[in-house]
Chain A
Amino acid sequence: MLNAITYLLSATLRMGTPIAFTALGGMTSERSGVNNIGLEGIMTASAFGAAVGSYLFQNAWMGILFAIVIGVGISAIHSLVCITWGGTQAVSSMALVLLSTGISGVGLKALFNQQGNSPQVPYLPTTTPLEKIPVIGPFLAQQSPFVYILFIVLILVWYMFKHTRLGLRIVTVGENPKAAETAGLSVHRIRYFSVIFSGVLGGLGGAMLSIGGMNMFQEDMVAGRGYLALGAVTMGRWNTWGVFGSAMFFGFFSALQLYLQTIPNNPVPAEFIQMIPYVATVIVLALSASKQNVGIAAGGQPYTKFVQQR
């Protein structure tokens, strides 16, 4: 029993972390008023970037750096399109997914002359040395360093929105860009920052998939986690802890799903067990959603001289 709990806990963390990174990034971007339903694309490209960096320098940390750079690059395209050009955010997002899939595939061929996946690259193994710490050691030993980075990021994001100037400005810009402008803020600069910041976090999320546990990039390895991250942003109601909690909620049910499958002679078809995370989400939403709409007031709306404002 205890065994099962520690397993579930540590698997929850591992499986929730990439989603949490990306979702926290997505939340920041959305709070500034720029939606990105293509988080999947950022994750894909940066998972690839992580493998490339790690391969080129034979150093996993360089892989993380690369992933962040790629994440920033992809989100910079999104910012250019949505913020400067006033493009439709959902369209740009879908373009990101295509571009990311495409670039990582083309890149595999160009860099490694390989199809489908990269060669094995250095990665960040679990923090096994921590096993010696009493009581929680065995638990910590199962975790990837990314999990620790996540907690730093979590506190950072929370602090940013709670206390910093920037956090306040991001919220202002997302709720009422015109008000922000009349208060002397640059809507574009703040939105650029937020979107690019989401690229950084999406980059970490993607990197965790390819070099935090695994040691290579595989096409389609993101497998919908970007969409789950998107779900976590909404489910967490654009609140740092809520978003984190929702990501972990997905992590937990994914872990539970695997755990249930390992129970011998269980008569439930695997597909139904695999459905659990998604069904659970729907149920939780149905039970918890309030009559009140909590969105971002100016979310999804471009704000630029190219688009006439009213």
Chain B
Amino acid sequence: GGSGSGEGGGTDDGSLRVGLIASSMGTQSFNDDVWAGLEKAQEELGIGAEYIEVSEVSDAANSLRTLIAQGDTLLVVPSSEFHDAMMEVAAEYPDCNFMYLAGEETGAENVMSVEYKENEAAFLGGALAASLSQTGKIGTVLAVQEPLQLRYQYGYMAGAKTVNPDCEVSVLFTNSYTDTNLGQESAKALYDKGADYVSCFAGACNLGVFNAAKEAGEGKYCLGAATGQFDKMPDKIVASVVKSIDVALYDMIKDYMDNGTFNGGGCTVLGLKEGGVELRYTTMNDELLNSIPEDVKNSVEDLKNKIINGEITVPGTEEEYNTYIASLG
């Protein structure tokens, strides 16, 4: 069922109705967090919220129109593959507003955009993993080599190399966001090669990574993603590279309702500085949390500050990464 509120996703009292299109829900990923934010807004702000799962990219425009026909006036578009469809529909419906959460788009007055700096949080994740690693080998399991994933990859690698230039970082791609078994096997392959900290940023494949960590036994750990995922494997997830869209979106909607704030034609950048992304230590396992040496925590904190005040510019592409490594000497 796509409707958030009981009956057809609508509110009869004329309050705000928000519509979301997503390629698929339940992949433990960004879309789910976006929806979580909307659900929260629904409960606490009394908005109407609903979503449509779009199985084909070419359906996106049609789905947006359907939502608008249902009375939605604020449309949330969380992924880049729907960008063109959104721009097309935005031009058709100047009275509706669109929130684009997958990068910069400043071309239309009724579209506001959000750009995430996943690489900054991933940088800290890499630094933490490399600092904690006993074997000097860490890994990460990613899904597809798209820009978003690459930002994570190069941020993670740069962070690791910054604290330990000799650290060996292996990167594995599953080419799927849903093949959990492949995610698990990927992590197994990494653990088997000696990596003791494996991070992940691959949708539902993350769940496979966590399970692999559990099966790998003592001394093997992993890092989560999304909003933390600590509940998925409390014994193994030391920390998570968090991209907390739920809170951010809730705040934006609240602001929009209360103050009419809408950064139309503008782009909001969410990095470490803005609190849009962060490295969050485990919240569910004190023992694990305490096992992280204070000096490691401190040096990670130190790096975070350096990023925030601009001393470190975290790479997000292969080129930037190479330059960055060269600059490390």
Contacts and interface: CB of A to CB of B under 8 A. Distances in A.
Contacts of B173: 261, 270, 274
B217 to A, nearest CB: 8
B170 A264 contact: yes
Contacts of A109: 1
Given A116-B25, A219-B178, A262 B170 contact: yes
Contacts of A255: 185, 189
B184 interface: yes
Interface stretch (B73-81, B102-110, B204-212): B204-212
Contacts of B306: none
A109 B26 CA distance: 11
Contacts of B190: 262
B178 A218 contact: yes
Contacts of B186: 258, 261
Nearest to B183: A214
A18 B180 CA distance: 14
B141 to A, nearest CB: 10
Contact of A220 (B139, B175, B179, B211): B179
Interface in A258-289: 258-259, 261-262, 264, 269-271, 274
A261 B143 CA distance: 13
Given A109-B1, A264-B170, A270-B173, A7 B189 contact: yes
A264 B207 CA distance: 24
A270 B175 contact: yes
A102 to B, nearest CB: 12
Contacts, number: 103
A216 B184 CA distance: 12
Contacts of A254: 182, 185
Interface size range on B against A: 35 or more
A221 B185 contact: no
Give the bracket for the number of chain A residues in contact with chain B.
35 or more
Contacts of B168: 264
B62 interface: no
A258 B185 contact: yes
B185 A15 contact: yes
B24 interface: yes
B227 to A, nearest CB: 15
Given A126-B215, A255-B185, A270-B173, A218 B180 contact: yes
A218 B175 CA distance: 16
Interface in A186-244: 209, 213-216, 218-221, 223
Contacts of A126: 215
B283 interface: no
B185 to A, nearest CB: 6
Interface string A117-129: 1001000011010
A213 B175 CA distance: 20
A219 B26 contact: yes
9 contacts: A7-B192, A15-B181, A115-B26, A126-B215, A218-B178, A220-B178, A261-B173, A270-B175, A274-B175
Interface of B: 1, 24-28, 32, 139, 145, 168, 170-173, 175-176, 178-182, 184-186, 188-190, 192-193, 204, 207-208, 211, 215, 217, 232
Given A214-B184, A261-B173, 17 more contacts: A7-B189, A11-B185, A15-B181, A15-B185, A109-B1, A116-B204, A125-B215, A218-B26, A220-B24, A220-B179, A221-B178, A221-B181, A221-B204, A258-B172, A262-B172, A262-B190, A269-B145
